[in-house]
Amino acid sequence: MSTFVGIDIAKEIHWACAVDSVGRVVLNRKVMNTPVDLTLLVEELSKLAQPCRVGIDVLGGIAAFAQAVLLHAGVELVHIPGLAVNRARQGTVGGEAKSDPRDARVIADQVRTRSDLRPVVAETELDIEIRLLVSHRADLTQEQTRRIARMHDLLVGIFPELEHRIDMTTKMGLRLLACAVTPEEFRTLSLSDLLTALGSTGKRTCGQELAMAARAAALRQATVVPGSRTVGRLIKELAEESLAAVARLDRIDGELEELLRRHPDAALIRSLPGMGAIMTAEFIAEVGQISRFRSGDALAAAAGLAPVLKQSGKTRWLKRPLGGNKGLKRVFYQSAFASLRCPASRQFYDRKRREGKRHHQAIIALARRRVNVLWAMLTYRRPFDPTPTEFA
């Protein structure tokens, strides 16, 4: 006899349901998200028929503490995706009804009947740090993108010629906007004042060209747009916030570099063309241990890069996948695009283009091929070998 447990994860109160090998309920109760109650649950599970297999529908976040307690106790833990739980519940009698006890029972039945569920293992401190920094970096990057879009929108209304000329993704452009925005301000400041505001970057030729172009554009615009003073003040504030965000991103990138130097897989991953420090960190954050994927095809399917088979009767066809891990797919796509400087990647890309594929399709095909290469590199612990056979 064995015991199969489903835990419906929530913020304050989990619900645990345990069934035996024939599906008979042997435990069904709420579990507070506290050390005392979770420890008590572990003791209760140890008294049931062994082996005991536990399934949860959430990883990390609100499930992090319960996950840590169960793994520390040596419990066999697996993950059931929330979509699988919802579909399985809808296939039962009264499937539209949803409750925590009902979901816990569905999870327990999924654990009892399925052998292909993903095992949950304890993460290393290094993997956790990389994942947290990558997540925080993504939040900062998203905020920075929104901030820059807002500055473009404001600036084009009062000084369109400068908006066309300036690159707000650079420190130089942001420093210029933190100093002056409106045509009146640029006419008031001298070229020397602008170069001083640009700092060390302003000593370069491009800094002088930007400052001179901004002053020339200001001299050509005599019209004063109503509200330009307030708009200028808002843009300056956004530019200062953007400069601070750039500094924070630089610090995070430095921390990630240091963590990658200590990670056992980082050197192997970075040997693949196109996999820089940020792409490598994002890959590690999304994948964790490569051993959880039985093949390169399984990794490609998880990333949404493998075609999906559809079959009905004698009809069979392949279609583009709509699911998959979007973050992982982005890593493979962006790194494939960056790898076009590598002769092997360029040769494969050019061949696909000659076959009639569009640029996007050729990049996707290259990304799909690189998935198998990267999986083999990590599985067999071999760095990238830049020979044509890798992408043949």
Which has more confidence, 95 or 387?
A: 95
Bridge partner list, 191:
none
E strand intervals along the chain = 3-8, 13-19, 25-32, 52-56, 76-79, 118-119, 308-312, 315-319
Gyration radius (Cα) of the chain, Å: 28
Q: 202 pLDDT band (50/70/90 cuts)?
A: very low
Average pLDDT over residues 294-308: 91
pLDDT at position 13 is 95
Helix (H) or strand (E) holding 147: helix 125-158
pLDDT of amino acid 148? 97
Q: Please give the full DSSP string across 275-296, using - where no structure is assigned.
A: --HHHHHHHHHHH--GGGSSSH
* Structure-token pair, residue 109: 């039945």
186 vs 215: CA distance, rounded Å = 6
d(CA 104, CA 15): 6
Instruction: Report the distance separating Cα 4 and Cα 78, nearest Å.
Output: 11
Taking alpha carbons only, the member of 390, 122, 177, 186 closest to residue 272 is 390
Tell me the average pLDDT of the chain.
92
Whether residue 299 has pLDDT greater than 80: yes
Q: Looking at the predicted structure, is the pLDDT value of residue 387 above 90?
A: no
7 confidence band (pLDDT: 50, 70, 90):
very high
> Is 306:321 a contact under the CB 8 Å cutoff?
yes
- 26 pLDDT band, cuts 50/70/90, is very high
Task: Look at residue 201 and tell me whether its pLDDT is greater than 80.
Answer: no
pLDDT of 392 above 70: no
What's the whole-number mean pLDDT along residues 83-95? Answer: 88
The contacts of residue 58 (CB under 8 Å, 6+ apart) are 9, 82
The full set of domains in the chain, from first to last, is: 3-119 (3.30.420.10), 129-258 (1.10.287), 266-391 (no CATH)
CA distance linking residue 35 with residue 9, whole number of Å = 15
Q: What are 317's strand-pairing partners?
A: 310
CB 284 within 8 A of CB 266: yes
307: enclosing H helix or E strand: none
As given in the structure block, the two tokens for residue 230 are 């307030």
Binned at pLDDT 50, 70 and 90, residue 317 comes out as confident
pTM: 0.86
Instruction: State residue 253's pLDDT score.
Output: 97
pLDDT band at 45 (very low <50, low <70, confident <90, very high): very high
Q: Would you place residue 1 in the very low, low, confident or very high pLDDT band (cuts 50, 70, 90)?
A: confident
Q: pLDDT band at residue 292, thresholds of 50, 70 and 90?
A: confident
Neighbouring-strand partners of residue 99: none
Tens digit of each residue's pLDDT (9 = 90 or more) over 330-364? 999 999 999 999 998 999 999 999 999 999 999 99
Mean pLDDT of 72-100: 90
Q: What is the pLDDT of residue 204?
A: 62
Mean pLDDT, residues 113-137 taken together: 92
**CA distance readout (Å), 52 to 3, 27, 69, 78, 376:** 5, 12, 15, 11, 33
Calculate ∠ Cα 351-355-358, nearest 5°.
90
Q: Which amino acid is present at 225?
A: V
107-116, 273-282, 313-322, 352-361: which range is least confident on average? 313-322
Nearest to 369 by CA among 346, 345, 351: 345
Number of residues that make up the chain: 392
Task: Tell me the HSE value of 380 on the side-chain side, using a 13 A CA sphere.
Answer: 12
Q: In what order do the strands lie in the sheet with 13-19?
A: 25-32, 13-19, 3-8, 52-56, 76-79, 118-119
User: Average pLDDT for residues 12-32, to the nearest whole number?
Assistant: 95
Contact 283, 328 (CB under 8 A): yes
**Average pLDDT of the segment spanning 227-248:** 96
| 2 has pLDDT over 80 | yes
pLDDT at 388 over 60: no
